[in-house]
Amino acid sequence: MVRNRTPRNRRSSRQDAVVVIGLGRFGRSLALELADEDTEVLGIDENPEVVQLLSGSLTHAVRADSTKEDALRQLAVHEFDRAVVAIGTDLEASILTASLLISFGIENVWAKATSEAHGRILTQLGVQHVVYPEHDMGQRVAHLVRGRMLDYIEFEDDFAMVKTDPPTAILDVPLSSSAVRTRYGITVVAIKRPGEGFTYATPDTVVRADDTVIVAGRTRATERFSELR
Ligand code: ATP
């Protein structure tokens, strides 16, 4: 396949813009969040009602079948550096779309997978970032349900950040004295006093009972810390 532009030209034209294909619940929320952060977004969906609904909120919202190469080229999708395939249920459409984006040489393609097999195929096609929203959100909520966490983010390699109420053992003394790192294997990263925003924690920070803290560390250590009373 002959590309219309060199990578340098492509980058200069659409460097910060993102194309989001499939504007269902996942794609829509992603596209709107990007638009909220002032990112130029081209949203594509084959359903005219969906496109109509989002036409005022995204930079461009266009009706097209993303499995058709000509349609994508007409929309200059091949000029983007970042694209998201947010089609899940229609496996064929997801795979065909992803394979076109990869053949365009788009540097960063994200695609939503609804199963492990779906994800494996996307990876084999060359999709750089495969995401599993339902699976990941299920895991995240499980952590919230099990512990006393207020929020939870797990990174790869067994590392997590947790927002939680502080346990009694660390209250009313500087963090350096409560030795949270050696005792609990976590680091208090930030602290929020009632009615105030989050600030970075320092060794001199004194945590009070009605504060909220964000801690980072190995997944199990952060969970154990959030379960302390
Ligand atoms: P969500 O859970 O995010 O709502 P879903 O996986 O249940 O998504 P899908 O049926 O996969 O929903 O479709 C998501 C969106 O992608 C829908 O709005 C649908 O119209 C659109 N879509 C599906 N196939 C194509 C296609 N070939 N071209 C363009 N848009 C498509």
Minimum mean pLDDT among 82-86, 129-133, 148-152: which range? 148-152
- Residues in CB range of 153: below 8 A, 6 or more apart: 140, 160, 161, 162
Q: What are phi and psi of 58, to 5 degrees?
A: -105, 160
Tokens 């949203």 -> residue:
43
Q: Is 25 in the pocket of ligand 1 (CB under 6 A)?
A: yes
Are residues 127 and 20 part of one domain?
yes
pLDDT over 60 (residue 5): no
| 64 and 163 assigned to the same domain | no
pLDDT for res 179: 87
Last residue of a domain, one of 131, 164, 183: 131
Give the Cα-Cα-Cα angle 95, 85, 143 (nearest 5 degrees): 110
Averaged pLDDT for residues 153-164: 91
Domain that holds residue 201: 137-227
In a shared domain, residues 99 and 171: no
Q: Are residues 80 and 159 in the same domain?
A: no
Residue 63 CB contacts under 8 Å (≥ 6 apart), including other chains:
44, 45, 46, 47, 48, 51
Share of the chain above pLDDT 90, in %: 76
What pLDDT sits at residue 3? Answer: 37
What was the pLDDT predicted at 142?
A: 86
Query: Taking residues 148-174, what's their average pLDDT?
Result: 91
Choice from 90, 99, 114, 131 to test ligand 1 binding pocket (greatest atom count within 8 A of CB)? 90
Residues 125 and 190 in one domain: no
* Same domain assignment for residues 100 and 144: no
Number of domains in the chain: 2
53 and 116 in a single domain? The answer is yes
* pLDDT for res 146: 77
Mean pLDDT, rounded, of the chain: 91
CATH code, domain carrying 57: 3.40.50.720
Residues 42 and 105 in one domain: yes
- Residue 15: is its pLDDT beyond 70? no
The residue from 96, 114, 131 where one domain ends is 131
